[in-house]
Amino acid sequence: MHMMVFRPEQWVKPMAVAGANQYTFHLEATENPGTLIKDIRENGMKVGLAIKPGTTVEYLAPWANQIDMALVMTVEPGFGGQKFMEDMIPKVHWLRTQFSSLDIEVDGGVGPDTVHKCAEWSGRALSFQSKLKTAPYHLGDLRQATQPP
C-alpha cells in the first residue's frame, strides 16, 4: 500500500487487518519515522519509504537500512497524468549506488517513453529491456522485470 496521507501512523493497524503486506509512507508526513517503521514491522508488514520531489535523497538515507523499499516520487503528489520529472532520476541512481540490495520504486508519469530511463538509472537496464514490450507498465512489473534471471 502506498499511503500518500497525513499522519500515516493512524492507518498501520487498519491496513494490516485489511491484509496489506507492505506499508509505504511519506517521510515528509511523519515526525518520527523510526517509531513508524517499528510499528509497521510489528504489524507484520514490509516497510516502504517515499519522498516527494522536493525532498533530497540524503534525507532518506539514514533510514535506508531499516526499510525494504524506497519510493522516489517522479511527480508532485496530488493527481495522475503529470509529466515525469526526469531530474528525479539521479536520486534512483544514488540510492542504487549506496544501497545495492534496496528495492527502489518510482511513481508518477511512468510510461513507454520514460520507463527506459528508470531502468537505466537503476543500473538494471538489460534484463528489463527484453520484457519492455509486455505492457502494462505497473511498477511491480518493472521491479520483477529487472530481477536477474
CB of 52 to ligand 5RP, least distance (A): 10
The residue count for binding ligand 5RP (CB under 6 A) is 12
d(CA 89, CA 66): 22
- Kindly tell me which of 107 and 141 has the beta carbon lying closer to ligand 5RP: 107
Q: Could you say whether residue 77 binds ligand 5RP (CB under 6 A)?
A: yes
To which H or E segment does residue 129 belong? helix 125-129
Q: In what order do the strands lie in the sheet with 103-107?
A: 2-3, 22-26, 46-51, 69-73, 103-107
Q: Could you say whether residue 81 binds ligand 5RP (CB under 6 A)?
A: yes
Binding residues for ligand 5RP, rule: CB under 6 A, are 4, 75, 77-82, 107-110
